Structure 1
Amino acid sequence: MSQRRSRHQRSPSSPPAVEAAAPCPCGRSAAYRDCCGRLHRGEAKASTAEQLMRSRYSAFAVGDRGHLLRTWHPDTRPRRLEPDPGTEWVRLEILSTTGGTPFHNEGTVAFRAVHREGGHEGVLDEHSRFVRHEGAWVYLDALPD
């Protein structure tokens, strides 16, 4: 997700805004600690572009600004991210993927992220591009509509 659309982050040293045993915000059936939490804590790296997309969505949901910045390509990464505590990320739907496997160096993930702001539900549709940088998957940018 790009900065203009990203809204809910925390400082890199703040604890996540979700219980470790809670369901992971990315929509997988695993607990947060065993799913995206491992990537947020730096205990694992994403093996696919989709896994990175899910971890970045979860980072928006729990307010992990550090993970977002670490997984953003240095050529397109913003200098800073501004939090919007009024945004609640509700649900992630992966619509399609291309490439992005452990055997690729590039990939795309089309997704729909549902959020709530001021009592109203909104939808973010994006087709994100991911590349490997220094051996790790990173978010590069959003493809134009």
Structure 2
Amino acid sequence: MGQTDESKAVVRRLINEFVNEGDESIADELLAPDYVRYDPDAPSGVQGPDEFTAMIGMFQSAFPDGEISIEEMIAEGDLVVFRGTERGTHDGEFMGHEPTGETFEITGLAMHRVEDGRITETWANWDMLGLLQQLGIVPVPDDLAEMAG
């Protein structure tokens, strides 16, 4: 297996075993101690391994059936990029909002730098506005709702 295939396997494990299945020990194994995540939806915009683990825990509590499907993945050098779809049901408190029971489906992109079998950096962008609109937390503008309806 080449370096890019090994790097893809690391990212797949992070998504499948940690994000989807909730195995926090995988995060310690796959994230470098100085891991940094750049995410416009993170409260600080930047997260270390502990903050990222806490964010995943919050999502797992709010959306216990939540799951990310990797639709496509590309690797070159030390970078792995994937396009994914996340689906779930709002069954727990999320950002101060009580469960709505609503389902959601959003898309996102993430790029990971993998060095020596561990992820050192991530740049991520997921459709959080779409998530909040699908849960009914943020209204959909009238003109967009009419076009969709």
TM-score for both structures, normalised by structure 2: 0.50
Corresponding residue number in structure 1 for 2:14: 56
Identity of aligned residues (%): 9
Q: Could you tell me which residue of structure 2 aligns to residue 94 of structure 1?
A: 71
Whole-Å Cα distance in 1 between the matches of residues 104 and 117 of structure 2?
A: 33
Distance 1:144 1:122 in 2: 15
2:110 aligned partner, one-letter code: H
Alignment of 1:1-145 (within 5 A): 48-58=6-16, 59-75=18-34, 76=36, 77-80=48-51, 81-82=53-54, 83-84=57-58, 85-87=61-63, 88-99=65-76, 104=77, 106-118=78-90, 119-132=102-115, 135-142=116-123
Q: Is the 8 A contact 2:11 2:112 kept in 1?
A: no
Structure 2: where are the runs of 5+ without partners? 37-47, 91-101, 127-149
- Shift in alpha-carbon separation, 1:130–1:94, aligned structure 2, 3 A: farther
Change (3 A) 1:74 1:124: farther
Cα drift, residue 125 of structure 1: 0.5
Q: Which has the higher helix share?
A: 2
* Alpha-carbon distance, 1:143 to partner: 5.6
Change (3 A) 1:94 1:73: farther
Paired residues, number: 93
Aligned residue for 1:141, secondary structure, equals: strand
Separation in structure 2 between the aligned mates of residue 141 and residue 64 of structure 1, nearest angstrom: 19
Q: Secondary structure at the match of 2:25?
A: helix
Query: CA 1:63–1:70 in 2, change beyond 3 Å: closer, same or farther?
Result: same
Q: Which has the larger radius of gyration?
A: 2
Q: What's the TM-score, normalizing by structure 1?
A: 0.51
Gaps of 5+ in 1: 1-45
Q: 3-state DSSP class of the match of 2:50?
A: coil
Give me the CA root mean square deviation.
Answer: 2.7
Are residues 70 and 120 of structure 1, via their aligned partners in 2, closer, same or farther at CA, if it must alter by over 3 Å?
same
